[in-house]
Structure 1
Amino acid sequence: MARSRRVFSTLLAGLIGGVLLLGGAALAQGKTTIQVYTTLLPESLAEFKAAFEAENSEIELIWRRESTGVLTARIAAEGENARADAIWGLAVTSMLDFKKRGLLQPYAPKNLAEVRPAFRDPDPVPSWVGMEAWAAAVCFNTIEAAKLGLPKPTSWHDLTDPRFKGKITFSNPAASGTGYFHVSAWIQIFGEAKAWDFMEKLHPNVAIYEPSGTRPCRHAATGEFPVGISYELAGMIEKGKGAPIEILLMKEGGGWDMDTAAILKNAPHPAEAQKLMDFAASRKANTLYAKWVPQVAIDGIATPPANYPEGVAASMIKNDFGWASENRDRILKAWSERFEKK
């Protein structure tokens, strides 16, 4: 009898366990998991995931994070056999390449009308939508400049003044995305011939071409070199640390770059990927982006943080990203032949 009770108890426990497992499986089946590629800061990912899932409780978002170069190569290698559903946070130049290869699925998010024209693929049904951007600026150490008698530049051409010889640092456009957006913007602003003439005159004044877009501003912050051609966020960070710098925007305007979102062609879960795009282009998402970068895709959301310069949005040129992407190899080859030996 005791043995029978033990057998019965064992069978009952197994039955209950099976029911619980089936129930858990049913619950799991009620939530769709999507894979999302990104290059965004790791510190931001948990907040973005939580906000998306709060509005889409039937979806679980799994991040697949890589650096820009690695992720771009991976998506290109996967081709139309996408292993993820979407991209949320990748440079626009990569997206343009993917669009050209036919690797993106066009989709118009519900909030598309609110997205600034410069922050979206111009096609009526866009292949990608922008998120946030960073823009050209000059970091200018006021203390060191005063010691050296250097005037505060207001135009890119002011930086060709012989008084700046050996006093400027800039990023190598072959190694730095920031460096390339400067060079491609100068060509768009001045025209091809005048832009190369400008860079020829700037070259003697550049002490170092750095592999990073941030380092020129760091040099200016320490005073090692009083002028750094960089971007506004790098200046904001250094000024926030107490560096005696001004963040200058040149009167001609300047280049900029942005992160973007898109659906991959042949995504395993296209309906859920569309919901991700709806969120990525929403006011809620742009409010989250604005915590990290002030220039976002929807007007009237971002409140500029302390030390952020005025007039950045107005300084951002109408950047032809398609042209910049298509001409990248040619421009970098020409730049390297002229200036890389320094």
Structure 2
Amino acid sequence: MAGMTRMMTTTRNRALRVGAGLVLAALVAALPGTADAGKITVYTSYEEDELASFLEAMKKDVPDVEVDVLRLSTGDLKARILAEASNPKHDVIWGWAATSMVDPRILAMIEPYTPAGIEKVPERFRDKDGRWFATTGYMGAFCVNNEIMAKEGLPMPSSWQDLIKPEYKGKLVMPNPASSGTGYLHIASILQMMGEEKGWAYLDELDKNIDQYIKSGSKPCNVASAGEFAIGLSFALRAIKNIDEGYPITMVIPSEGAGHELEANALMASSQNKEDAKKFLDWTLSKSAEEQYNKWKSIVTMQGRTMPEKFKKAGLPDDISTVLFEMDYAWAAANQERIVAEWQRRYEK
């Protein structure tokens, strides 16, 4: 990653995150009052490959701001931020689940900020009090194997209601919401759109057609793409990538609307270098940043997006908001533990 924003620093109290044989980040744990001008620390949950692409573009656009990055999964990052609550080590949260950001303990650490260009982000994708805003996200989708459907004479589903038809018995695989964020967004969206009583009744029926609950959010799409199952409940970007690679699948966005998760950004109130932190947050709304998001993300919230051709070919509309179910992120966050426990009691196999 030579030539891009420096991601490694050899100072005291550094924290390393290693994955897939690569050193992903190093963190300067600066003491209060010792922040270096022109340098900020960013915590993120963006995937490694997209993160590298985003940071390379940012360095070209804002060369006077040096960024040290710590990349952790959503749950691990939340644990880290809460553990450091009395002495936060970072200036910015970037690309992190909105359902985690809205935790009152997290919100208490955030300083409201109105970045340049925020008017491009619809109000539904930002906090009403200005504490966070989301530029990207991911959405649920069905991956349907065309060859199996044709061979077995099965109809192409178009909705959640279609999936409980008896002809799909044993044909479905789905992520486990206890281990998969994608699995949870599916369950949370169903309970919100139907109401809990009808939602659980629907999930009882859906369970009859599920062959397996899988830990990963992407694997249901992968096994459907490989012809092991007819339908995998997964997320849109995985379907788009598999279609682009030539797998015989159709991506279906449920007609009731797709559950989704936003990846949000925020300024830490404890930051010792807020001017540079604000420059970074301003950049996340820039045209250059948007061009990078378009290469990697199924949801880009900024209005006027030009949808990539391979995304449109797979079935995404130019205006992504037309196919999203309007999630209540605070509700999804506040009720996650209860919902997952109830789901496990009913369906875990």
Structure 1 Cα separation of the partners of residues 344 and 36 of structure 2:
55
Q: Which of 228, 239, 257 pairs up with 1:224? A: 228
Q: Deviations over 1:58-81 (max 9, x none)?
A: 321122222222222111111041
Instruction: Report which stretch shifted further, 225-234 or 49-58.
Output: 49-58
Decide whether aligned partners of structure 1 residues 60 and 317 sit closer, same or farther in structure 2, where only a CA change above 3 A counts: same
**1:168 to partner: Cα distance:** 0.2
| Structure-1 separation of matches of 2:145 and 2:258 | 20
1:240 partnered with 2:257: no
Counterpart CA distance in 1 for 2:229 and 2:131 is: 42
| Gapped regions of structure 2 (runs ≥ 5) | 1-34
Q: Deviations over 1:289-337 (max 9, x none)?
A: 1111142121222322314313343110111101111111111111111
Give the whole-Å Cα distance in 2 for the aligned partners of 1:154 and 1:45.
33
Identify, as 1 or 2, the structure richer in helix.
1
Indicate the residue corresponding to 1:291 in structure 2: 295
In structure 2, the CA distance between the partners of 1:135 and 1:30, relative to structure 1 (3 Å rule), is: closer
Q: In structure 2, which of residues 92, 102, 109 is the aligned counterpart of residue 96 of structure 1?
A: 102
**Residue equivalent to 1:141:** 145
CA contact (8 A) 1:295 1:302 kept: no
The 5-angstrom pairing of residues 35-74 of structure 1 reads 35-74=41-80
Aligned equivalent of 1:313:
321
Amino acid at match of 2:265: A
The whole-number CA distance in structure 2 between the counterparts of 1:151 and 1:54 is: 50
Distance (Å, rounded) in 1 between the aligned partners of 2:327 and 2:62: 34
- Whole-Å separation in 1 of the counterparts to 2:127 and 2:293: 19
Asked if 1:132 corresponds to 2:136, the answer is yes
Larger Cα-atom Rg:
1
Structure 1 distance, partners of 2:96, 2:335, is: 20
Letter of the structure 1 residue corresponding to residue 274 of structure 2 = P
TM-score, with structure 2 as normaliser: 0.84
Identity %: 36
Matched AA of 1:318: E
Distance of 1:114 and 1:80 partners within structure 2: 34
Judge conservation of contact 2:82–2:105 (CA < 8 Å) in 1. no
SS at match of 1:333: helix
Q: Is contact 2:139–2:298 with CA below 8 Å preserved after alignment?
A: no
- Report the equivalent of 1:7: none
2:218 to 201, 214, 219: 214
RMSD of aligned Cα (Å): 1.9
Show structure 1 runs of 4+ deviating over 6 A: none
Q: Which residue of 2 aligns with 1:164?
A: 168
Query: Structure 1 length as normaliser, TM-score?
Result: 0.86
1:273 aligns with 2:291: no
Aligned to 2:339: 331
